[in-house]
Structure 1
Amino acid sequence: MKNLKNKNIVLIGFMGVGKGTIARALIQKTKRMGLDTDDVIESMENRKIKTIFEQEGESYFRECEKKTAKWLEKSVQNTIISTGGGFFKVSNLDKIGTIIYLQSSFDGIIKRLKEHENAELKFAKRPLLSDEEKAKALFHERTALYEKKADVIIDVENRSVKEIVKEIIKHLQ
Protein backbone atom coordinates (compact mmCIF):
# COMPACT_ATOMS: atom_id res chain seq x y z
CA MET A 1 0.00 0.00 0.00
CA LYS A 2 1.13 3.56 -0.67
CA ASN A 3 2.98 5.24 2.16
CA LEU A 4 0.76 7.45 4.34
CA LYS A 5 3.66 9.79 5.13
CA ASN A 6 4.24 11.24 1.66
CA LYS A 7 1.06 10.77 -0.39
CA ASN A 8 -2.29 12.43 -0.65
CA ILE A 9 -5.37 10.63 0.61
CA VAL A 10 -8.30 11.05 -1.77
CA LEU A 11 -11.77 10.33 -0.40
CA ILE A 12 -14.38 9.31 -2.97
CA GLY A 13 -17.97 8.19 -2.64
CA PHE A 14 -21.52 9.23 -3.34
CA MET A 15 -22.70 12.71 -2.39
CA GLY A 16 -23.67 12.90 1.27
CA VAL A 17 -21.70 9.81 2.35
CA GLY A 18 -19.56 11.90 4.74
CA LYS A 19 -16.37 12.60 2.79
CA GLY A 20 -16.02 16.10 4.24
CA THR A 21 -16.70 14.93 7.79
CA ILE A 22 -14.19 12.07 7.53
CA ALA A 23 -11.64 14.37 5.87
CA ARG A 24 -11.83 16.87 8.75
CA ALA A 25 -11.33 14.07 11.29
CA LEU A 26 -8.40 12.64 9.30
CA ILE A 27 -6.85 16.10 9.08
CA GLN A 28 -6.95 16.40 12.88
CA LYS A 29 -5.61 12.88 13.42
CA THR A 30 -2.79 13.03 10.84
CA LYS A 31 -1.95 16.76 11.18
CA ARG A 32 -2.09 17.16 7.41
CA MET A 33 -3.57 19.88 5.26
CA GLY A 34 -7.00 19.34 3.77
CA LEU A 35 -8.79 20.34 0.59
CA ASP A 36 -12.30 19.84 -0.70
CA THR A 37 -12.54 19.74 -4.50
CA ASP A 38 -15.93 21.48 -4.48
CA ASP A 39 -14.46 24.31 -2.36
CA VAL A 40 -11.54 24.63 -4.79
CA ILE A 41 -13.97 24.85 -7.72
CA GLU A 42 -16.14 27.42 -5.92
CA SER A 43 -13.02 29.55 -5.29
CA MET A 44 -11.82 29.14 -8.86
CA GLU A 45 -15.25 30.11 -10.26
CA ASN A 46 -16.15 32.60 -7.50
CA ARG A 47 -19.64 31.08 -7.20
CA LYS A 48 -21.42 28.18 -5.52
CA ILE A 49 -21.63 24.70 -7.08
CA LYS A 50 -25.42 25.01 -7.21
CA THR A 51 -25.07 28.26 -9.21
CA ILE A 52 -22.54 26.68 -11.59
CA PHE A 53 -25.01 23.83 -12.25
CA GLU A 54 -27.89 26.28 -12.76
CA GLN A 55 -25.99 28.70 -15.01
CA GLU A 56 -23.60 26.44 -16.93
CA GLY A 57 -24.86 22.87 -16.53
CA GLU A 58 -23.23 19.67 -15.37
CA SER A 59 -20.77 19.28 -18.28
CA TYR A 60 -19.17 22.67 -17.49
CA PHE A 61 -18.86 21.64 -13.84
CA ARG A 62 -17.14 18.38 -14.89
CA GLU A 63 -14.61 20.45 -16.86
CA CYS A 64 -13.92 22.41 -13.67
CA GLU A 65 -13.30 19.10 -11.90
CA LYS A 66 -10.77 18.09 -14.59
CA LYS A 67 -8.86 21.39 -14.13
CA THR A 68 -8.89 20.87 -10.37
CA ALA A 69 -7.60 17.29 -10.75
CA LYS A 70 -4.68 18.43 -12.92
CA TRP A 71 -3.78 21.07 -10.36
CA LEU A 72 -4.00 18.55 -7.49
CA GLU A 73 -1.73 16.08 -9.30
CA LYS A 74 0.94 18.71 -10.03
CA SER A 75 0.78 20.93 -6.96
CA VAL A 76 -0.58 19.15 -3.88
CA GLN A 77 1.21 16.74 -1.52
CA ASN A 78 0.59 15.26 1.93
CA THR A 79 -3.01 16.40 1.87
CA ILE A 80 -6.38 14.88 2.72
CA ILE A 81 -8.63 15.55 -0.28
CA SER A 82 -12.40 15.17 -0.09
CA THR A 83 -14.09 15.09 -3.46
CA GLY A 84 -17.47 15.77 -4.99
CA GLY A 85 -19.56 12.69 -5.75
CA GLY A 86 -18.63 12.62 -9.45
CA PHE A 87 -14.98 13.66 -9.11
CA PHE A 88 -13.88 10.01 -9.26
CA LYS A 89 -14.38 10.15 -13.06
CA VAL A 90 -11.32 12.37 -13.64
CA SER A 91 -8.75 10.46 -15.70
CA ASN A 92 -5.77 11.17 -13.42
CA LEU A 93 -7.38 10.24 -10.07
CA ASP A 94 -4.87 7.45 -9.39
CA LYS A 95 -1.99 9.93 -9.83
CA ILE A 96 -3.34 12.26 -7.14
CA GLY A 97 -3.00 9.89 -4.18
CA THR A 98 -4.32 6.83 -2.37
CA ILE A 99 -8.01 6.49 -3.22
CA ILE A 100 -10.37 5.59 -0.41
CA TYR A 101 -13.98 4.80 -1.27
CA LEU A 102 -16.38 5.56 1.57
CA GLN A 103 -19.16 3.05 0.98
CA SER A 104 -22.76 3.14 2.22
CA SER A 105 -26.18 2.16 0.97
CA PHE A 106 -28.32 4.85 -0.67
CA ASP A 107 -30.83 4.66 2.19
CA GLY A 108 -27.96 4.97 4.68
CA ILE A 109 -26.81 8.18 3.00
CA ILE A 110 -30.32 9.69 2.92
CA LYS A 111 -30.86 8.73 6.58
CA ARG A 112 -27.49 10.32 7.52
CA LEU A 113 -28.39 13.57 5.74
CA LYS A 114 -31.93 13.73 7.18
CA GLU A 115 -30.60 13.23 10.72
CA HIS A 116 -28.01 16.00 10.37
CA GLU A 117 -28.73 19.19 12.33
CA ASN A 118 -28.46 21.20 9.08
CA ALA A 119 -30.43 18.68 6.98
CA GLU A 120 -32.07 21.32 4.78
CA LEU A 121 -28.70 22.87 3.94
CA LYS A 122 -27.17 19.44 3.29
CA PHE A 123 -29.83 18.71 0.66
CA ALA A 124 -29.74 22.25 -0.80
CA LYS A 125 -25.96 21.94 -1.39
CA ARG A 126 -26.49 18.83 -3.51
CA PRO A 127 -28.52 19.74 -6.62
CA LEU A 128 -28.44 16.15 -7.93
CA LEU A 129 -30.28 14.93 -4.79
CA SER A 130 -33.35 17.05 -5.50
CA ASP A 131 -34.96 14.13 -7.35
CA GLU A 132 -34.57 11.08 -5.10
CA GLU A 133 -35.40 8.53 -7.83
CA LYS A 134 -32.83 10.01 -10.22
CA ALA A 135 -30.31 10.20 -7.38
CA LYS A 136 -30.91 6.54 -6.51
CA ALA A 137 -30.37 5.52 -10.15
CA LEU A 138 -27.14 7.56 -10.22
CA PHE A 139 -26.04 5.91 -6.97
CA HIS A 140 -26.53 2.42 -8.43
CA GLU A 141 -24.77 3.43 -11.65
CA ARG A 142 -21.73 4.72 -9.74
CA THR A 143 -21.30 2.02 -7.06
CA ALA A 144 -19.25 -0.43 -9.16
CA LEU A 145 -17.26 2.47 -10.65
CA TYR A 146 -16.27 3.72 -7.18
CA GLU A 147 -15.19 0.19 -6.23
CA LYS A 148 -13.09 -0.12 -9.38
CA LYS A 149 -11.23 3.16 -8.72
CA ALA A 150 -10.57 2.53 -5.01
CA ASP A 151 -7.31 1.41 -3.44
CA VAL A 152 -9.22 0.89 -0.18
CA ILE A 153 -12.96 0.44 0.46
CA ILE A 154 -14.33 1.47 3.86
CA ASP A 155 -17.90 0.66 4.89
CA VAL A 156 -19.11 3.77 6.74
CA GLU A 157 -22.74 2.86 7.36
CA ASN A 158 -23.80 3.01 11.02
CA ARG A 159 -20.21 3.60 12.17
CA SER A 160 -18.71 6.46 14.13
CA VAL A 161 -16.28 8.91 12.56
CA LYS A 162 -13.65 7.74 15.04
CA GLU A 163 -14.03 4.08 13.96
CA ILE A 164 -13.85 5.01 10.27
CA VAL A 165 -10.72 7.17 10.70
CA LYS A 166 -9.02 4.44 12.72
CA GLU A 167 -9.72 1.89 9.96
CA ILE A 168 -8.45 4.23 7.22
CA ILE A 169 -5.19 4.86 9.07
CA LYS A 170 -4.74 1.13 9.71
CA HIS A 171 -5.15 0.39 5.98
CA LEU A 172 -2.63 3.02 4.97
CA GLN A 173 0.22 2.23 7.35
Structure 2
Amino acid sequence: MSKNLVLIGFMGVGKGTIARALMKETGLVGVDCDDLIESMENRKVKAIFEAEGEEYFRALEKKTAKWLEKSVKNTLISTGGGFYKVKNLHKIGKVIYLKSSFEGILERIKSSANSEKKLAKRPLLSDMNKAKALFDERDPLYKEKADIIINVENKSIDEIIKNILQEIK
Protein backbone atom coordinates (compact mmCIF):
# COMPACT_ATOMS: atom_id res chain seq x y z
CA MET A 1 0.00 0.00 0.00
CA SER A 2 1.44 3.35 -0.98
CA LYS A 3 -1.11 5.60 0.63
CA ASN A 4 -1.79 6.77 4.14
CA LEU A 5 -4.86 5.64 6.03
CA VAL A 6 -6.57 8.46 7.94
CA LEU A 7 -8.92 7.53 10.79
CA ILE A 8 -11.65 10.08 11.50
CA GLY A 9 -14.59 10.00 13.90
CA PHE A 10 -16.02 11.57 17.01
CA MET A 11 -13.87 11.95 20.11
CA GLY A 12 -13.82 8.78 22.16
CA VAL A 13 -14.86 6.46 19.31
CA GLY A 14 -11.55 4.58 19.58
CA LYS A 15 -9.40 6.01 16.79
CA GLY A 16 -6.19 5.66 18.84
CA THR A 17 -7.05 2.16 20.04
CA ILE A 18 -7.95 0.98 16.54
CA ALA A 19 -4.84 2.65 15.10
CA ARG A 20 -2.57 0.78 17.53
CA ALA A 21 -4.23 -2.56 16.73
CA LEU A 22 -4.10 -1.85 12.98
CA MET A 23 -0.40 -0.96 13.22
CA LYS A 24 0.32 -4.34 14.82
CA GLU A 25 -1.70 -6.14 12.15
CA THR A 26 -0.31 -4.30 9.10
CA GLY A 27 3.18 -3.27 10.19
CA LEU A 28 2.37 0.33 9.28
CA VAL A 29 3.87 3.15 11.30
CA GLY A 30 1.30 5.34 13.00
CA VAL A 31 1.03 8.95 14.04
CA ASP A 32 -1.59 10.66 16.17
CA CYS A 33 -2.44 14.23 15.18
CA ASP A 34 -3.17 15.33 18.74
CA ASP A 35 0.20 13.93 19.85
CA LEU A 36 1.92 15.84 17.02
CA ILE A 37 0.19 19.06 18.09
CA GLU A 38 1.07 18.49 21.75
CA SER A 39 4.72 17.98 20.78
CA MET A 40 4.70 21.07 18.57
CA GLU A 41 3.19 23.20 21.36
CA ASN A 42 4.85 21.40 24.29
CA ARG A 43 1.49 21.23 26.11
CA LYS A 44 -1.63 19.08 26.22
CA VAL A 45 -4.63 19.62 23.93
CA LYS A 46 -6.77 20.53 26.94
CA ALA A 47 -4.26 23.23 27.97
CA ILE A 48 -4.20 24.61 24.40
CA PHE A 49 -8.01 24.83 24.37
CA GLU A 50 -8.09 26.49 27.79
CA ALA A 51 -5.34 29.03 27.06
CA GLU A 52 -5.87 29.80 23.37
CA GLY A 53 -9.34 28.54 22.44
CA GLU A 54 -10.67 26.25 19.75
CA GLU A 55 -9.86 28.52 16.79
CA TYR A 56 -6.15 28.48 17.65
CA PHE A 57 -6.25 24.68 18.01
CA ARG A 58 -7.93 24.31 14.58
CA ALA A 59 -5.14 26.42 13.06
CA LEU A 60 -2.64 23.96 14.55
CA GLU A 61 -4.59 21.10 12.95
CA LYS A 62 -4.33 22.82 9.55
CA LYS A 63 -0.57 23.22 10.00
CA THR A 64 -0.32 19.53 10.96
CA ALA A 65 -2.41 18.52 7.93
CA LYS A 66 -0.12 20.40 5.55
CA TRP A 67 2.92 18.68 7.06
CA LEU A 68 1.25 15.25 6.84
CA GLU A 69 0.39 15.78 3.17
CA LYS A 70 3.95 16.77 2.25
CA SER A 71 5.99 14.57 4.54
CA VAL A 72 4.17 11.38 5.53
CA LYS A 73 3.69 8.25 3.37
CA ASN A 74 2.56 4.66 4.10
CA THR A 75 1.39 5.67 7.55
CA LEU A 76 -1.68 5.17 9.69
CA ILE A 77 -2.91 8.56 10.90
CA SER A 78 -5.24 8.88 13.88
CA THR A 79 -6.95 12.27 14.02
CA GLY A 80 -8.75 14.39 16.57
CA GLY A 81 -12.55 14.68 16.36
CA GLY A 82 -12.50 17.96 14.43
CA PHE A 83 -9.61 17.16 12.08
CA TYR A 84 -12.03 16.14 9.31
CA LYS A 85 -12.48 19.89 8.57
CA VAL A 86 -8.98 20.32 7.09
CA LYS A 87 -9.23 21.12 3.40
CA ASN A 88 -6.50 18.71 2.27
CA LEU A 89 -7.86 15.63 4.10
CA HIS A 90 -8.11 13.50 0.93
CA LYS A 91 -4.63 14.55 -0.19
CA ILE A 92 -3.28 13.06 3.04
CA GLY A 93 -4.71 9.59 2.43
CA LYS A 94 -7.69 7.24 2.32
CA VAL A 95 -10.22 8.44 4.89
CA ILE A 96 -11.84 5.85 7.17
CA TYR A 97 -14.75 6.97 9.35
CA LEU A 98 -15.07 4.94 12.56
CA LYS A 99 -18.81 5.26 13.19
CA SER A 100 -20.76 4.73 16.40
CA SER A 101 -23.80 6.24 18.07
CA PHE A 102 -23.20 8.94 20.69
CA GLU A 103 -24.48 6.56 23.38
CA GLY A 104 -22.13 3.85 22.09
CA ILE A 105 -19.16 6.21 22.39
CA LEU A 106 -20.08 7.21 25.95
CA GLU A 107 -20.52 3.56 26.88
CA ARG A 108 -17.10 2.75 25.38
CA ILE A 109 -15.42 5.52 27.36
CA LYS A 110 -17.22 4.68 30.63
CA SER A 111 -16.36 0.98 30.35
CA SER A 112 -12.64 1.61 29.77
CA ALA A 113 -10.17 1.10 32.62
CA ASN A 114 -9.16 4.77 32.78
CA SER A 115 -12.54 6.35 31.96
CA GLU A 116 -12.10 9.38 34.25
CA LYS A 117 -8.82 10.27 32.56
CA LYS A 118 -10.33 9.76 29.08
CA LEU A 119 -13.24 12.08 29.87
CA ALA A 120 -10.99 14.68 31.50
CA LYS A 121 -8.68 14.99 28.48
CA ARG A 122 -11.60 15.77 26.13
CA PRO A 123 -12.59 19.39 26.78
CA LEU A 124 -15.56 19.21 24.40
CA LEU A 125 -17.13 16.37 26.43
CA SER A 126 -17.44 18.46 29.61
CA ASP A 127 -21.04 19.44 28.70
CA MET A 128 -22.99 16.38 27.51
CA ASN A 129 -25.79 18.38 25.87
CA LYS A 130 -23.27 20.39 23.83
CA ALA A 131 -21.30 17.22 23.06
CA LYS A 132 -24.44 15.45 21.77
CA ALA A 133 -25.32 18.48 19.61
CA LEU A 134 -21.75 18.47 18.24
CA PHE A 135 -21.99 14.74 17.51
CA ASP A 136 -25.30 15.25 15.66
CA GLU A 137 -23.73 18.07 13.63
CA ARG A 138 -20.57 16.13 12.77
CA ASP A 139 -21.94 12.65 11.99
CA PRO A 140 -23.22 13.50 8.47
CA LEU A 141 -20.04 15.50 7.80
CA TYR A 142 -17.84 12.53 8.73
CA LYS A 143 -19.90 10.34 6.36
CA GLU A 144 -19.47 12.91 3.60
CA LYS A 145 -15.67 13.01 4.03
CA ALA A 146 -15.20 9.23 4.33
CA ASP A 147 -13.90 6.94 1.61
CA ILE A 148 -14.79 4.01 3.88
CA ILE A 149 -17.27 3.84 6.78
CA ILE A 150 -16.68 1.22 9.47
CA ASN A 151 -19.40 0.70 12.09
CA VAL A 152 -17.52 0.06 15.34
CA GLU A 153 -20.44 -0.09 17.75
CA ASN A 154 -20.59 -3.25 19.87
CA LYS A 155 -17.74 -4.80 17.86
CA SER A 156 -14.49 -6.18 19.18
CA ILE A 157 -11.21 -4.64 18.11
CA ASP A 158 -10.47 -7.80 16.10
CA GLU A 159 -13.79 -7.50 14.23
CA ILE A 160 -13.14 -3.83 13.46
CA ILE A 161 -9.60 -4.55 12.21
CA LYS A 162 -10.93 -7.39 10.03
CA ASN A 163 -13.59 -5.03 8.54
CA ILE A 164 -10.97 -2.35 7.80
CA LEU A 165 -8.58 -4.81 6.18
CA GLN A 166 -11.38 -6.15 3.96
CA GLU A 167 -12.27 -2.62 2.87
CA ILE A 168 -8.73 -1.43 2.06
CA LYS A 169 -7.68 -4.46 -0.02
Normalising by the smaller structure, the TM-score range is over 0.9
Aligned to 2:50: 54
Query: Equivalent residues in 2 for 1:24-173 (5 A)?
Result: 24-173=20-169
Length, aligned pairs only: 169
CA distance in structure 2 between the aligned counterparts of 1:102 and 1:133, rounded to whole angstroms: 22
5+ long unaligned stretches in structure 2: none
Could you list the per-position Cα deviations for residues 105-143 of structure 1 after superposition, in whole angstroms to 9, with x for gaps in the alignment? 000000000000000000011000000000000000000
Report % sequence identity. Answer: 67
Could you list the per-position Cα deviations for residues 16-53 of structure 1 after superposition, in whole angstroms to 9, with x for gaps in the alignment? 00000000001000101000000000000000000000
Give SS of 2:143's match: helix
CA distance in structure 2 between the aligned counterparts of 1:107 and 1:172, rounded to whole angstroms: 28
Give SS of 1:10's match: strand
Root mean square deviation of aligned Cα: 0.3
Aligned to 1:20: 16
5+ long unaligned stretches in structure 1: none
CA distance in structure 2 between the aligned counterparts of 1:94 and 1:15, rounded to whole angstroms: 20
Shift of 1:81: 0.4
CA distance in structure 2 between the aligned counterparts of 1:125 and 1:72, rounded to whole angstroms: 24
CA distance in structure 2 between the aligned counterparts of 1:145 and 1:172, rounded to whole angstroms: 21
Q: Give the TM-score taking structure 1 as reference length.
A: 0.97
Could you list the per-position Cα deviations for residues 85-113 of structure 1 after superposition, in whole angstroms to 9, with x for gaps in the alignment? 00000000000000000000000000000
Q: Give the TM-score taking structure 2 as reference length.
A: 0.99
CA distance in structure 2 between the aligned counterparts of 1:73 and 1:112, rounded to whole angstroms: 31
Q: Which amino acid aligns with 1:82?
A: S
